[in-house]
Amino acid sequence: MRYDVVLGVLGSILWLLAGVLVIPLIVAVYYGETLFTFGLPLLITVLAAFVFSLFFTKVEEEWNMKEGFFIVASGWLIAAVIYSIPYILEGVPVLNALFESMSGVTATGATALTDIESHSRSLLFWRSMTQWLGGMGIIMLFIAILPKLGIAGRQMFRAEVPGLHEEQLRPRIRETAKILWLVYIMLSLAEIIVLDLAGLSLYDSVTHTFTSISCSGFSPYSDSIAAFNDPVVEAIFIVFMFLGGANFALHYKTVFSDRKSLIRDEEFKFYFLLIGIATLVLAYMLFSTRVYPLGEAFRYSSFQVISILTTTGYATADFNLWPDSSRFILFLLMFIGGCAGSTSGGVKVVRVLLLIKYAQNVLFKVLHPKAIRHIRFNGKTVPEDVIHSIVSFMVIYFMIFVASSTMLSLMGMDFVTSLSASIATLGNVGPGLGLVGPMESFDNIPALGKLLLTANMWIGRLEVFTVMVILTPAFWRK
């Protein structure tokens, strides 16, 4: 691996990270708040970017896959560290600040803040904005705006979006990244306008748009969306969380080329089916256990199902107080996530769907050992190496989940908190159950546990393989 090239690229990423810090600085000026909170990290980042760019090689040649993986993984870590500085300057403990920052840039939504409203409006704006950037991806933004990346951009794209296949809308990766960001921005502007028309202030409209279309979940209010207690506002969030959890490449195709792209896509149809079934089952449970009347049971279940399945993590009620059967449904949904190519976390609907098809195929071959039947998705045969990759991903994913849950329990966390905190961070969901419920804070987790869960968010956002590959000894061999 050519470290001078890698550090040169990280220098360019630092310039991008510095540029983003200008926006909350302007917000601080508008609200008459101290400029030091964002001025100091901006100065530090600019100086670091200048040093990196001055002493290390710029991108002018093809990178190898190792370099792409390392740049993406380290790029997210650098962003989390730099973006934690404003929290520290507002008095948040260092470990909590790093946790909060990583939760922001990975679009997780798990919070370690205990009194959210006590912080400045510019910091809370920044907190939401980091999730909007992390939703589509900081590296994806870097690819979109940096010219002449060429094949280097392709390596970063593969590391940033290590799904089943590249959703390439144009021959050039940079053009694909620009299109995906354009769709993201258009949906964001649409949501801001709709929320403003629904009666929210511009500040609330922008901050909540940042964290709903990105399937992230931070809110400037401790009570999350329950602070509004408005069914119309909840319905708007449901629509945009649902759109954020769908494939953005299909959004583009539906609008500009093939209007039936979404409804023909097998993953989208399964995504829609999961939401429908889970909503009805949860509503029945809440109604039958007399938690809510029928209308309210459907209202709260539909919102919470979409919020958890898309890994947004908003809450309109303290579902930590619901019966165990209802909480178990939400716990299961934390493992799934939205569609591939969306802003949501989790293992992704397409992997679950293909695993089901794979299991059906195995059972069929038990009955008909000589038969040859291929797994098909959207009318195409799925190669065996893709299925093997999915199985490997799921095995590693659950091993990390079990390991982190076990370590949390050894730190004194109860069974429910250990399991839900682990999957809520690894799946980039946000709130969990027990001591990390929707109206609680991850500040309840011990210091070592916070570091563990911070790593979970990093690993989960890069879909396991990108981080795990660079941790193997083989990666560092020449």
Q: What is the mean pLDDT of residues 207-212?
A: 96
Q: Is the pLDDT of residue 473 over 80?
A: yes
Whether residue 299 lies inside any domain: the answer is no
Q: Is the pLDDT of residue 89 over 50?
A: yes
Whether residue 347 lies inside any domain: the answer is no
Whether residue 392 lies inside any domain: the answer is yes
Structure tokens at 424: 């809520």
pLDDT, position 162:
43
Q: Is the pLDDT of residue 151 over 50?
A: no
Distances (CA, A) of 344 to 18, 78, 246, 248, 476: 26, 22, 8, 11, 31
User: CA 163 to CA 180: how far, in whole Å?
Assistant: 16
**Tens-digit pLDDT profile for residues 103-148:** 999 999 999 998 899 999 999 999 999 999 988 876 566 565 454 4
Q: 163: pLDDT confidence band, cut at 50, 70 and 90?
A: very low
Q: What is the mean pLDDT of residues 48-74?
A: 77
pLDDT, position 144:
54
Question: Which of 187, 88, 59 has its CA nearest to residue 135?
Answer: 187
User: CA 135 to CA 106: how far, in whole Å?
Assistant: 7
Structure tokens at 458: 């990093």
Q: 4: pLDDT confidence band, cut at 50, 70 and 90?
A: confident
> What domain count does the chain have?
2
pLDDT, position 448:
96
* Domain boundary residue, one of 141, 157, 177: 177
Q: Greater confidence, 33 or 141? A: 33
Whether residue 195 lies inside any domain: the answer is no
Within its chain, how far is the Cα of 337 from the centroid?
9
Q: Is the pLDDT of residue 153 over 80?
A: no
Mean pLDDT taken over the chain: 88
pLDDT, position 149:
46
Question: Which of 6, 74, 73, 84 has its CA nearest to residue 45?
Answer: 84
Whether residue 287 lies inside any domain: the answer is no
Q: Greater confidence, 312 or 56? A: 312
Whether residue 204 lies inside any domain: the answer is no
Domain region containing 389: 385-476
Q: Which distant-in-sequence residues (6+ apart) come within 8 Å of 314 by Cβ?
A: 211, 212, 217, 219, 224, 225, 237, 241, 303, 307
pLDDT, position 433:
95
Q: Is the pLDDT of residue 171 over 70?
A: no
* Domain boundary residue, one of 177, 198, 220: 177
Structure tokens at 2: 């050519």
Whether residue 266 lies inside any domain: the answer is no
**Tens-digit pLDDT profile for residues 404-445:** 999 999 999 999 999 999 999 999 999 999 999 999 999 999
pLDDT, position 152:
44
Burial of 361 (0-12, 13-18, 19+ CB in 10 A): middle
User: CA 241 to CA 302: how far, in whole Å?
Assistant: 12
Whether residue 306 lies inside any domain: the answer is no
Structure tokens at 309: 């399945």
User: CA 255 to CA 307: how far, in whole Å?
Assistant: 25
pLDDT, position 169:
52
**Tens-digit pLDDT profile for residues 237-268:** 999 999 999 988 888 888 887 788 888 899 99
DSSP conformation letters of 267-319: HHHHHHHHHHHHHHHHHHHHHHTTSS-HHHHHHHHHHHHHHHHTT----SS-G
* Domain boundary residue, one of 147, 177, 207: 177
User: CA 61 to CA 206: how far, in whole Å?
Assistant: 40
User: CA 402 to CA 445: how far, in whole Å?
Assistant: 17
Q: Which residues partner with 376 through β-bridges?
A: 381
